Chain A
Amino acid sequence: MADDFEITDEMKAQIGQETEPWTYEVTTTGVRMYARGIGSTDPVHYDVDFAKKQGFRSIVAPYGFLGTPVFHPDTNDGTFGFPRRAGGPRLNLPFKGLLDGGTETEYFDVICAGDVLEETSHLADIKARGNMVFLTNESVYKDKASGKVVAKQRLTSIHM
């Protein structure tokens, strides 16, 4: 069996380094688009009056949707949309292949259209299995107005 890809001390030292915050907008258009994407027919994701009658501030973000990162061509990735910002890890892994490894989301509040969230993230884990590297990134989403943490999400990416 091939040796595992070497995770250097320099790479490990980047675990926990927080990025600068980034703004994620939860808009009515964004919520509806995401709900269309998953194929939900629940009016709570589409109809503002219906959602308000149910006691929500506005239409409710489907689970998995934590808003859209504010995009600018100079700062965001053209394929994935995520921000390339100061702070956070710089690993320069020598791989081209990329697969999604897993998603885990913890909710502390309901997220609705009109919410503006502030997200920071850090590398939570890095490990190798053969010539594949698994990165786990943890993001914390706060409501910008209240400062309350509304969600945490862990994303694992597989590089090979």
Chain B
Amino acid sequence: MVQVYFEDINVGEEIPQLKKNCSTQQLVLWAAGSGDFYQIHYYKDFAQSTGLKGLIVHGALKNAFLGQLLHDWIGEKGELRRFGCSYRGMDEPNQDILCRGVVTKKYQDGGKNMVELDVWTEKPDGKKTSPGTAVVTLPSKA
């Protein structure tokens, strides 16, 4: 994995995207990993009985995808301080979920190189379904 450095990034730049596409099997794997076995994520009849069109991707799984987007970007010498998102739109299985982030601020605080970002998941039509923000630290080349 290539290490990204504080000096290399600029406000307004996009970080490398992460593309996901959840099979129903992946939703079950994540249910097992998280302990969230809500039936709307694997039992279509149940999902429809609650008024949904069909199965939906766990919101917290999309949050974890954004966590992976940041983990993959900051490398072993970066630290994630805070990240979060709201669930504004639903994503279905077997449809692309594009995880994206843009640098909004960079500054030094207490000797640390801080970087703030807007992060979000996006549907194929461009609609942002999980907008959020993140704060990370990056190493310096010096």
Contact = CB atoms under 8 A, between A and B. Distances in A.
Interface residues of B, number: 39
Interface residues of A, number: 38
Contacts of A64: 60, 63-64, 67
Given A33-B33, A39-B20, A63 B67 contact: yes
Interface in A40-80: 40, 42, 44, 54, 62-65, 68-69, 71, 79-80
Given A34-B34, A81-B36, A40 B85 contact: no
Contacts of B6: none
Contacts, number: 112
A4 interface: no
Nearest to B31: A37
A103 B85 contact: yes
Interface in A62-116: 62-65, 68-69, 71, 79-82, 96-107, 110
A154 interface: yes
Contacts of A100: 58-60, 87
Contacts of A63: 64, 67-68, 70-71, 80, 83
Interface in B72-98: 72, 76, 79-87
B26 A103 contact: no
A106 B81 contact: yes
A129 interface: no
A71 B60 CA distance: 20
Given A63-B80, A102-B86, A103-B85, A38 B61 contact: yes
A34 B33 contact: yes
Contacts of B83: 63, 104-105
A12 to B, nearest CB: 23
Nearest to B130: A102
Interface string A9-50: 000000000000000000000100111111110101000000
B51 interface: yes
Contacts of A54: 76
Given A71-B35, A106-B82, 12 more contacts: A37-B26, A37-B29, A37-B33, A38-B61, A38-B68, A42-B1, A62-B67, A100-B87, A103-B60, A103-B84, A104-B132, A110-B79
8 contacts: A36-B33, A37-B64, A39-B20, A62-B71, A79-B38, A80-B36, A102-B59, A102-B86
